């Protein structure tokens, strides 16, 4: 069945009085579906362009360019369950726009991972679970232009029209497989994620190959990237518009001592660093060069001994085997970063507690301690079993 939300059935809310009525109505429901459309290609902060909300018996598209959407905080604070798909960025945008978040969420993409789906798109999941085909032709449209076309209205409505039904289907399957609590824990972790701007002094962690920097280059990278981050926030521009990643890395590896040196640095556009801006950047370089090693903020895990590659490869194979056995998305069960953190004994790693520890972490600990061994089961699979502590020697006979 092919379906598209009819533009005639979609209510576009761009007036304060009607928006207030919608908020009052939503404060009385048990669950609602919510999604956003936003742009962040040319700004530091995401620019909200549309909010879509559906509930049992209604669907509205709210225009944040015409009404102040902050009263949606009342809806969030009502305690109703918010259903979203791939919720992370939507939560960031909604929190910035309203100053609040729902206390409970159900992320259909995340929860479907416990049923074997691997980060499915909304189109894929709706088709697989509900046998409905969605039209998504307006995915890359400009949502800030008004009026919105019928195609845009239909596209936006479809982003929430099926979420409540999908939540029922996924929820029933989670109940049948005994994974409701696992999914609830993951949704709670996603909701509790820190979405603040973060420390500018940690911005250098996001530079390509930042872990390869050594010595004084780390301090320079930290201070220059922090300066870039603060200026980007102040101007509401993407950080790369202030100084490119290539330029920050070039400056860190060969710190300029003068404006002339700066203008000869690879990736630096001299037009952007005339006057006070260039002086500020050079001052950041000087601070970085004199930064004591103890004041350099290292990325999580850099203070721990790095496990060797065979250990991670072996553990990854076991994760893949367990994920296949349990029909769980391997990325939900454990990522490579999770494994590195676990073997580095990072205290707040995802495998150190919760459902993952009981299902996987405790077994990997036995593997790491040498009490268990990973072996072929003779049927194209792997099994973790008690170690015999008897080493095999190669047969060198003819």
Cα–Cα distance list, 123 to 108, 112, 139 (Å): 12, 13, 12
DSSP state of 249: H
- The arithmetic mean of pLDDT across residues 366-371, rounded, is 84
Q: How far apart are CA 146 and CA 209, in angstroms?
A: 42
User: Which pLDDT belongs to residue 270?
Assistant: 79
- The arithmetic mean of pLDDT across residues 2-16, rounded, is 71
Mind listing the pLDDT tens digit for each residue in 166-178?
999 999 999 999 9
pLDDT band at 6 (very low <50, low <70, confident <90, very high): very low
Mind listing the pLDDT tens digit for each residue in 104-139?
999 999 999 999 999 999 999 999 999 999 877 666
Which range has the worst mean pLDDT, 3-7, 29-33, 76-80? 3-7
Chain mean pLDDT for the chain: 91
Whether the predicted pLDDT of 344 surpasses 90: no
Mind listing the pLDDT tens digit for each residue in 70-102?
999 999 999 999 999 999 999 999 999 999 999
pLDDT band at 395 (very low <50, low <70, confident <90, very high): low
Q: How far apart are CA 184 and CA 181, in angstroms?
A: 5
pLDDT band at 2 (very low <50, low <70, confident <90, very high): very low
User: Which pLDDT belongs to residue 301?
Assistant: 60
pLDDT band at 45 (very low <50, low <70, confident <90, very high): very high
User: Which pLDDT belongs to residue 381?
Assistant: 79
Q: Which CATH superfamily is domain 2-192 in?
A: Ribonuclease H-like superfamily/Ribonuclease H (3.30.420.10)
User: Which pLDDT belongs to residue 1?
Assistant: 42
Cβ count within 10 A of residue 190: 15
Alpha helices of the chain — where are they, by DSSP H? 16-26, 72-77, 88-98, 108-112, 122-130, 150-161, 163-177, 180-192, 216-235, 239-242, 245-253, 259-263, 276-289, 309-326, 330-333, 336-343, 354-356, 362-368
Which range has the worst mean pLDDT, 52-61, 202-211, 299-308, 315-324? 299-308
Whether the predicted pLDDT of 3 surpasses 60: no
- The CATH T-level fold of domain 309-386 is DNA polymerase; domain 1 (1.10.150)
H/E segment holding residue 372: strand 372-376
User: Which pLDDT belongs to residue 117?
Assistant: 95
User: Which pLDDT belongs to residue 306?
Assistant: 64
- The arithmetic mean of pLDDT across residues 278-294, rounded, is 96
| 200-295 and 309-386: identical CATH topology | yes
Give the three-state DSSP class for 188.
helix
Which range has the worst mean pLDDT, 37-51, 107-121, 229-243, 383-397? 383-397
Could you state, in order of their start, the residue ranges of all structural domains in the chain? Answer: 2-192, 200-295, 309-386
User: Which pLDDT belongs to residue 303?
Assistant: 53
Q: How far apart are CA 197 and CA 129, in angstroms?
A: 37
- The CATH T-level fold of domain 200-295 is DNA polymerase; domain 1 (1.10.150)
DSSP assignment of 81-144 = EEEESS-HHHHHHHHHHHS---S-EEEHHHHHGGGT--S--HHHHHHHHH--EEP-TTTT--TT
Whether the predicted pLDDT of 7 surpasses 50: no
Whether the predicted pLDDT of 252 surpasses 60: yes
11: closest CA among 55, 76, 77? Answer: 55
Cα–Cα distance list, 47 to 86, 98, 298 (Å): 18, 13, 31
- The arithmetic mean of pLDDT across residues 196-225, rounded, is 95
Whether the predicted pLDDT of 5 surpasses 60: no
């Amino acid at each position: 069945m092919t379906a598209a939300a009819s533009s005639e059935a979609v209510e576009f809310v761009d007036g304060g009085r009607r928006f207030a009525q919608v908020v009052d109505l939503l404060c009385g429901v048990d669950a609602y579906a919510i999604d956003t459309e936003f742009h962040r290609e040319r700004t530091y902060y995401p620019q909200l362009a549309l909010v879509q909300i559906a509930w049992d018996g209604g669907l509205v598209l709210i225009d944040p360019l015409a009404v102040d959407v902050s009263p949606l905080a009342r809806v969030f604070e009502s305690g109703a369950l918010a259903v979203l798909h791939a919720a992370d960025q939507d939560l960031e945008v909604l929190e910035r726009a309203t100053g609040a978040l729902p206390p409970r969420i159900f992320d259909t993409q995340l929860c479907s991972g416990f049923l074997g789906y691997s980060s499915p798109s909304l189109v894929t999941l709706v088709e697989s679970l509900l046998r409905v085909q969605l039209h998504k032709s307006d995915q890359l449209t400009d949502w800030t232009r008004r009026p919105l076309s019928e195609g845009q209205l239909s596209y936006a409505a479809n982003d929430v029209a099926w979420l409540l039904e999908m939540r029922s289907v996924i929820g029933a399957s989670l109940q049948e497989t005994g994974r409701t609590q696992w999914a609830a824990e993951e949704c709670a972790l996603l909701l509790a994620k820190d979405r603040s701007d973060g420390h500018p002094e940690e911005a250098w962690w996001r530079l390509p190959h930042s872990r390869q920097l050594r010595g004084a280059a780390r301090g320079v990278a930290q201070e220059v990237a922090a300066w870039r981050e603060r200026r980007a926030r102040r101007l509401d521009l993407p950080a790369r518009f202030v100084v490119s990643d290539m330029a920050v890395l070039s400056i860190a590896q060969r710190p300029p001592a003068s404006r002339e040196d700066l203008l000869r640095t690879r990736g630096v556009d001299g037009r952007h660093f005339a006057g006070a801006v260039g002086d500020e950047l050079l001052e950041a370089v000087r601070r970085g060069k004199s930064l004591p090693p103890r004041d350099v903020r290292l990325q999580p895990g850099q203070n721990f001994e790095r496990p060797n590659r065979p250990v991670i490869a072996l553990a990854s194979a076991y994760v893949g085997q367990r994920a296949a056995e349990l029909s769980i998305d391997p990325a939900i069960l454990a990522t490579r970063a999770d494994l590195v953190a676990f073997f580095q004994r990072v205290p707040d790693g995802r495998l150190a507690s919760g459902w993952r520890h009981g299902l996987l972490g405790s077994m990997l600990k036995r593997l790491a301690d040498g009490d268990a061994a990973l072996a072929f089961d003779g049927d194209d699979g792997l099994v973790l079993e008690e170690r015999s502590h008897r080493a095999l020697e190669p047969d060198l006979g003819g």
